[in-house]
Amino acid sequence: MIPRLILVVTVLTAASNPGHAESVRSMVKKACGADYMRVCAAVPPTGDGMKALQCLIDHRKVVSKKCQDALLAAKVSQETQAAPQPAATPRNNWAAQ
């Protein structure tokens, strides 16, 4: 639980800074690199990487806990940027959806 909280706080901090999208992208890339190669290698990481990211999200039930946490933190960051509001507590079962 503590690592997930630290990850979410890190992403929210990055979201409040210029270049937050690159920080979030870098974090997901680092946390999910091995999972990408294992489950999404057929999806080229071209352009903005959205197809590769969508593949990881589509396979979130089978990626590592570290990658799940990074994907959740990226989702929280995206939601925070889309509609600024107090940060919501991430759902513990997000990866199981």
Q: What is the pLDDT of residues 23-69, one digit of tens each?
A: 888 889 999 999 999 999 999 877 777 888 899 999 999 999 999 99
- By the 10 Å C-beta count (0-12 exposed, 13-18 middle, 19+ buried), 40 is classed as buried
- How would you label 59-74 residue by residue, b for 16+ Cβ within 10 Å and e otherwise? bbeebeebbbbbbbbb
pLDDT of residue 1: 46
Structure tokens at 80: 């925070």
Q: Which amino acid is at 29?
A: K
pTM score of the predicted model: 0.63
